[in-house]
């Protein structure tokens, strides 16, 4: 499917398409943002993306997670993923007796 403002093609199955441009050398301060560790990143300069068009499919889905100080969404998912990853890790590393992703830390115990 052809974009509106340029000659690029995007997948027809795309949920949301942002069209725009980046001027070489143009930057702006960005941040601070809370990250998954519960701390804030410093303000830093990043390239500016100027949006010229936004299109979306009907009933588009925007995927996102809430990230900030634990317990946040990734921390809760980490606890749930223990059920999936521990058996896989123990098959690869039989000497691994405990591996757990808690909300604020990771604990690894080798036999």
Interval 21-50: pLDDT, tens:
999 999 999 988 876 666 788 999 999 999
Averaged pLDDT, 59-73: 77
Task: Give the position of tokens 């519960």.
Answer: 38
Cα 107 from Cα 82, distance rounded (Å): 11
Compute the chain's Rg from CA coordinates: 21
Containing H/E element for 85?
A: helix 73-92
The pTM of this model reads 0.58
Q: Which of 7, 35, 44, 72 is catalytic?
A: 35
Q: Give catalytic status of residue 72 as yes or no.
A: no
Cα 61 from Cα 69, distance rounded (Å): 25
| Residue-level pLDDT at 72 | 72
94 or 73, greater pLDDT: 94
């Amino acid at each position: 499917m052809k974009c509106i403002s340029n000659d690029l093609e995007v997948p027809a199955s795309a949920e949301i398409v942002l069209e725009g441009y980046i001027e070489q050398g143009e930057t702006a301060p960005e941040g601070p943002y809370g990250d998954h560790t519960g701390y804030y990143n410093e303000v830093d300069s990043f390239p500016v993306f100027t949006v010229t068009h936004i299109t979306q499919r009907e009933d588009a889905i925007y995927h996102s997670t809430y990230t900030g100080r634990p317990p946040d969404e990734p921390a809760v998912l980490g606890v749930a993923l223990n059920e999936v990853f521990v058996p896989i890790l123990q098959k690869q590393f039989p000497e691994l007796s405990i591996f757990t992703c808690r909300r604020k830390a990771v604990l690894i115990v080798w036999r």
